[in-house]
Chains A and B, each alone.
Chain A
Amino acid sequence: MVDAIAGAAPSRHGFAALQACLRDPKVAAGGCFILFLLVLALGAPWMAPKDPLEQDILLGATPPFWQAGAEPGHWLGTDDLGRDALSRVIYGSRVALTVAFVASSLAAALGAVLGLLAGWYRGVVDATISRLVEIWMAFPPVLLSILLVAVIGAGVGSVIAAIAIIDWTRFCRVVRAETINQAGADYVTAARAIGFSRLRILTQEIFPNVFPVLIALVSLEMGIAVIVEAILSFVGLSVSSDTPTWGAMIAQGRQLMHQGWWILAAPLMMLFLTVLAFNLLGEGLRRALDPVMRR
């Protein structure tokens, strides 16, 4: 279809670029791993070989299957209470992904709305929002999140709220800059000449062109959210201890380092791969969609 039109320009934009970058091996690898993780999290009750909470003191700290003394059925060994490490890692992905998706979306929504308003209306609106961002970013993020969760209480909801409240500034700054960039384009002038209202131009003309950049940023943010959730779990401020999380497993494994390194290794590996996947995906998307880097 493209070729049939005389002088088709090779430049890609928006969703065309989004489609094209799926062929990038990094994006594909990151995307596949995230997809795999999603299946794991959704299908945890069927995929996990054991109940992640079932304790068996007699089988405490057994090593993974390739080592001497491994217990059949416990592929990645057990922790000191005899709970199956593989099952706990699989169940742990549920909290990680929930936080990643929900917290990033909330942060993105909040930041995007404020960034769009600041970049489009400029003036007082812009000055107010920009000052707010600057003040916000002066707080050390990890301390702020620990403080927030300590005040509003532990739990997945609090972790999500903490991440959204802290990280909206990332989205706000980028979306604001991109909105200013788009607002200078001739198509906005043309839309104004037709007589569209300012709000309609913002939502119908500018936002769709800012959206791809936002998507890339959300992916990067998901990696950050997974780390923050692990940190908060590590210090015991995330979900209650009867829900397996990677952070809590790492905290537990740290104390048992000398009895069994694998207790620490399995969740650490998952955390590492997940964040890497989100970063590969986000970086690839950014490269494909960022108007500056595209050239």
Chain B
Amino acid sequence: MSGAILSISRLSAVSDRDQAPILHEVALTVERGETRGLVGESGAGKSTIGKAILGILPRAVRVTSGEVLFQGEDLLKMPAERRRRLVGEQIALIPQDPMTALNPGRRIEGQLTDGLRLWRGLDARGARKIALKLLDEVHIRDPERVLRSFPHQLSGGMRQRVLIAAAFALDPKLIVADEPTTALDVTVQKQILRLIRNLQSAHGTSVIFVTHDLGVVAQICDSVTLLFSGRVVEEGRTGDLLQRPQHPYTRALLDACPRYDRPDVGLKPIPEDLIARLRSEAAA
């Protein structure tokens, strides 16, 4: 346990409007330097966990119990001001949609250096130097020009690179990647995954990788936590979980994935009675 950068236990959250449960006693551990996949279908609560860590839950969601230990300190019990600084400096977000995750009215330079200026107290010149280095790290050619650009002048893949550069700007301990490749097409997706992987090992960063795509999990994650309706269904090392799934839902999910190596198998939908059983278990 000593190697864990983040350790969540018994985290529960409800919708403020109708008290409907969103997360139920979720446990999640991220070791130093590892990539932990957080997998589930829409509404399983995977993004909610990411937002709870960053302290940016929407108003309609309320955490009812549990703890989120970041380097041994409970983020949920921390004074708001201290949390804002700690999270701002040491935990970064790679948002889902590169088309809307950059402010359309501001140049890239300002947005890329926001964190550096806010928390490192750098002036525009010092921040610019680091920004150029960061853009070089994410393999953007002509970084000077990109810094001067507005987001609408860049392609989706370029924007995602900029967002990744921004996430690594403060050399954070932990990055929450919220489906960073979902909005991209498959060829770009592969490049972006490789980029995150390389930067992560170069910086020794831990990553929580939120996704619904088991193919992506197989490529990038060291370990996986599988969620269904706000509960942890199964978790383990990626290889073990994908090859020897224990839980019937995990097995069903794997059967529902296309296998390029075994075209003869075909796709099987997740059995409805299994879904119904899981739902009734969650409701109980």
Binding site for B on A (CB under 8 A): 1-2, 4-9, 11-16, 122-123, 185-187, 189-197, 205, 208-209
Q: CB-nearest residue of chain B relative to A209?
A: B105
| Given contacts A122-B59, A186-B100, A195 and B93 within 8 Å (CB-CB) | no
A268 to chain B, nearest CB (A): 41
The answer to whether B104 and A5 have CB atoms under 8 Å apart is no
B106 at the interface (CB under 8 A from A): yes
**Which of A6, A189, A196, A208 has most chain B Cβ within 10 Å?**
A189
Q: From A195, which residue of chain B is reached at the shortest CB distance?
A: B88
Nearest-Cβ distance from residue A82 to partner chain B, whole angstroms: 56
Interface residue? B115 (CB, 8 A):
yes
Task: Specify the chain B residue showing the minimal Cβ separation from A208.
Answer: B105
B152→A9 contact, CB < 8 A:
yes
Residue interface mask B104-118, A partner, CB < 8 A = 1: 111000010011001
* Contact call B95/A190, Cβ cutoff below 8 A: yes
Complex Cα distance, B145 from A5, in Å, reads 8
Instruction: Report 10 cross-chain contacts, Cβ distance below 8 Å, ordered by A residue.
Output: A5-B145, A8-B153, A14-B105, A185-B100, A190-B102, A193-B88, A193-B93, A195-B85, A195-B87, A195-B118
Contacts of A192 in B (CB 8 A): 54, 56
Contact B84 A15, beta carbon cutoff 8 Å? no
Q: With an 8 A cutoff between CB atoms, is B155 at the interface?
A: yes
Q: Which 7 A-B pairs have the closest CB atoms?
A: A195-B88, A7-B155, A186-B101, A193-B93, A13-B104, A187-B103, A186-B100
Task: Specify which chain A residues have a CB less than 8 angstroms from the CB of B142 in the assembled complex.
Answer: 4-5
Q: Which residue of B lies closest to A122 (CB)?
A: B59
B84's partner among A2, A12, A195 (CB-CB below 8 A) is: A195
Which residues on the B side are within 8 Å of A14 (C-beta)? 104-105
Cβ-neighbour of A190 out of B89, B93, B156 (below 8 A): B93
Interface string of B46-86 (1 = CB under 8 A from A): 00000000101001000000000000000000000000110
